[in-house]
Amino acid sequence: MSKRALLSVSDKSNLVDFAKQLKDLDFEIVSTGGTKKALEDAGVEVTGVEEVTGFPEMLDGRVKTLHPKIHAGILAKRDDPDHMKQLKDAGITPIDLVAVNLYPFKQTIEKPETTQAEAIEQIDIGGPSMLRAAAKNFAGVLTVVDPADYQPVIDALKAHTDDADFRKHLAAKVFRHTAAYDALISNYLTEEEFPEKLTLTYEKQQSLRYGENSHQKAAFYRKALPSKLSIIPNQLHGKELSYNNIKDANAALNMVAEFDQPTVIAMKHMNPCGVGVADTIEKAWDEAYESDPMSIFGGIIAVNREIDAATAEKMHKIFLEIVIAPSYTDEAFEILAKKKNIRLLKADLSHRDEPDRFEEITVSGGMLIQESDHEIDQIPDFKVVTKVQPTEQQLKALQFGQHVVKHVKSNAVVVTTDTKTLGVGMGQPNRIDSAKIAIQKAMPKDGYENAIMASDAFFPMDDCVEYAAKHDIKAIIQPGGSIKDKDSIAMADKFGIAMVMTGVRHFRH
């Protein structure tokens, strides 16, 4: 007994071969518009949808499949005698397979020149309706939304393995697809920053070997409209990225993208362990390496200039997990790629002014969403609150330190010069411990005589200022805002320290 398949696709990959195989399995093919023409041009016999409905397409194709002879043929329960009798009485033939993929809404809105009117015309109505109907009635209808499933469907039909589990699998895929499609449309049309319902959609990029630890399963998904500033999928060399690699690499990229000078970031466990700026990327590497030669081992490196051979030679001497750069000279790439496991990534920093506006983090039972912290504190906005005024070099160092500290996990305190980090203290339950860690790590290093201290949030007491003063720190930058700011200012004045307040806190939990 002949069966009926309805094919209506925007993506015509492997369409003709799929239709021919369905014909070989004694399916009648019903189709519309461009799909019908593509099949006819390939010599496949096709029944037009208007022949089924007895009604022509209208409204420039907006209405063609929205008809009882289509939807009743899809939705009728095959095991319900009354349903089947109603079809027979109405002269409706059941539809046993629906292969539909939707108007290219995503591809349309990805084009910068697309107008709203053009985008709206790519909102598919009939396609999702047929898919959802078929998926709802998966017990009697095979639904195919992905060309990758054409051959598995043919194989299942031939082997008579198109059972309930197989059909349910395809139906679930349909609902994921239409949900993602609707999410893109709703997000495109939504103007509220925080609407009453938030539907995000992601596409699987890759399965990961494991998560943070080897006993945890994991996968990586990217946004359906991915960020232009991204490490994925731009891996040029090396073994597959891990869960932790992706998190660290993303943090390093977002940090280095904020710097204008040639800059090198060394990232470990979502915290910078070495940051260097200079006139050349090689000198910036030297500064970053000297910041913490121990912690940089096994680190993630991000740079904002092309890597040359001289810099690559220095990088090659130590074990690094990942290097991220906008480009590599041929010689530099050859040098670094001698190590087969090092991951070499390319990142398009021309999009550094287009970072994600919002960031999300899941919590048990929900999700937090906030604007990303893209604030970069500038010297003209600094407020000097002490009797001693910072020197020009100290102001540069204070700005650099403030730029670094916003990327360190709170409580965050860093000690820097104007070109490199000397000590980084982070993640402590009180600020004085972070200050002690940063200063103790910084003290033995060259440049400490010109060191400043930066804090991501205010000092709740004057102990951090006192500790810094007793260890020869000459300038401090912090946001201010504590009810005890006057105590910290008085302590700075007591020891002749210049203190600047910015009014902007940079917590990063």
pLDDT at 1 over 60: no
CA distance 14 to 25: 17
Q: Which domain holds residue 146?
A: 3-189
pLDDT of residue 58: 67
pTM for the whole thing? 0.85
Q: How confident is the model at residue 487 (pLDDT cuts 50, 70, 90)?
A: very high
Let me know if 227 is exposed, middle or buried by CB neighbors in 10 A (0-12, 13-18, 19+). Answer: middle
| Location of structure tokens 């893109």 | 184
Least Cα distance to 33 among 7, 3, 4 occurs for 7
Helix axes 281-291, 309-316, angle to 10 degrees: 20
State whether 343 and 389 are in the same domain.
no
Is residue 384 over pLDDT 70? yes
pLDDT at 191: 87
Task: Give the whole-angstrom CA distance, residue 222 versus residue 96.
Answer: 34
pLDDT for residue 128 is more than 60: yes
Confidence of residue 79 (pLDDT cuts 50, 70, 90): confident
Angle at 283 between CA 277 and CA 285, to 5 degrees: 75
Note whether 12 and 161 are same-domain residues: yes
Strands across the sheet containing 383-384: 383-384, 498-501, 475-478, 452-455, 413-416, 421-425
**DSSP per position, 14-61:** THHHHHHHHHHTTEEEEE-HHHHHHHHHTT---EEHHHHHSS--BTTT
Are 240 and 322 within one domain? yes
Catalytic site includes residue 71: no
Task: Provide the pLDDT confidence category of residue 509 given band limits of 50, 70 and 90.
Answer: confident
Q: What is the pLDDT of residues 415-438, one digit of tens each?
A: 999 999 999 999 999 999 999 999
**187-213, pLDDT tens digit by residue?**
989 888 898 988 888 989 889 999 999
Active-site pick, 12, 67, 269, 316: 269
Joined together, the tokens standing for residue 249 give: 């690499």
According to DSSP H, which parts of 42-195 are helical?
Answer: 49-53, 68-75, 81-90, 105-109, 116-121, 126-136, 150-159, 164-189
- Does any domain span residue 495? yes
**Do residue 178 and residue 118 come from a single domain?**
yes
Q: Are residues 346 and 238 in the same domain?
A: yes
Catalytic residue among 12, 23, 83, 136: 136
Beta strands 202-208 and 271-277, pairing class: unpaired
Residue 55 lies in a domain: yes
CATH number at residue 283: 3.40.140.20
Q: pLDDT-based confidence at 51, cuts 50/70/90? A: confident
Contact predicate 158/172, CB 8 Å: no
Unique residue bearing structure tokens 């998904």 = 221
Same domain, yes or no, for 347 and 460? no
Tell me how many domains the chain contains.
3
CA distance 328 to 342: 14
Q: What percent of the chain has pLDDT over 90?
A: 66
- Domain of residue 74, CATH code: 3.40.50.1380
Q: Which of the listed residues 189, 222, 251 is the one where a domain comes to its end?
A: 189
Are residues 240 and 290 located together in one domain of the fold?
yes
User: For residue 234, is pLDDT > 90?
Assistant: no
Is 173 among the residues known to form the active site?
A: no
14 and 145 in a single domain? The answer is: yes
| 128, part of any domain | yes
Given this model, what pLDDT does residue 224 score? 84
Same domain, 343 and 387: no
The tokens describing 241, both together, are 């990225």
Regarding predicted confidence, which is higher, 58 or 230? 230
pLDDT score, position 131? 93
If you ran DSSP here, which 8-state letter would residue 381 be given? Answer: G
